[in-house]
Structure 1
Amino acid sequence: MPSFDIISEVDRQVIRDTVANVQREVANRWDFRQVTTSVELNEKAETVKIATESDFQLQQLLAILYDQLSKRGIERSACTIPPQPTHSGKLWSFEIPFKQGIDSLLAKKIVKLIKTEYPKAQANIQDKQVRVIDKSRNTLQAIMSLLRQTVLEQPLQFTNFHD
Structure 2
Amino acid sequence: MPSFDIVSEVDLVEVKNALDQCNKEVGNRYDFKGSDARVEQAEKVLTMYADAEFQLDQVKDVLINKLAKRNVDVRCLEYGKVEKVSGNKVKQTVTVKVGVETELAKKLVRIIKDSKIKVQASIQGDTVRVTGAKRDNLQEVIALMRKEITDFPLQYQNFRD
Describe how 1:1-163 pairs up with structure 2 within 5 A.
1-43=1-43, 46-82=44-80, 84-89=81-86, 90-163=88-161
Q: CA deviation digits over 1:90-122, x for unaligned, max 9?
A: 311111111111111100000011111134210
In the TM superposition, residue 159 of structure 1 has moved relative to its aligned partner by 0.7
In the TM superposition, residue 18 of structure 1 has moved relative to its aligned partner by 1.1
CA contact (8 A) 2:39 2:49 kept: yes
Q: CA deviation digits over 1:39-90, x for unaligned, max 9?
A: 11112xx1111100000010111111111111122222201012x3011113
Distance 2:73 2:22 in 1: 16
Distance 2:122 2:26 in 1: 44
Runs of 4+ residues over 3 Å off in structure 1:
none
Of the structure 1 ranges 102-111 and 147-156, higher mean CA displacement relative to structure 2 is found in 147-156
Residue 114 of structure 1 aligns with an amino acid whose one-letter code is: I
Aligned residues: 160
Distance 2:22 2:10 in 1: 17
- For the aligned residue pairs, the C-alpha RMSD in angstroms reads 1.2
CA contact (8 A) 2:131 2:138 kept: yes
Distance 1:145 1:72 in 2: 25
| TM-score normalised by structure 2 residue count | 0.94
Unaligned stretches of 5+ residues in structure 1: none
In the TM superposition, residue 139 of structure 1 has moved relative to its aligned partner by 1.5
Residue 4 of structure 2 aligns with an amino acid whose one-letter code is: F
Distance 1:69 1:118 in 2: 38
CA contact (8 A) 2:121 2:128 kept: yes
Of the structure 1 ranges 115-124 and 4-13, higher mean CA displacement relative to structure 2 is found in 115-124
Residue 126 of structure 2 aligns with an amino acid whose one-letter code is: K
Unaligned stretches of 5+ residues in structure 2: none
Distance 1:152 1:115 in 2: 19
Of the structure 1 ranges 88-97 and 150-159, higher mean CA displacement relative to structure 2 is found in 150-159
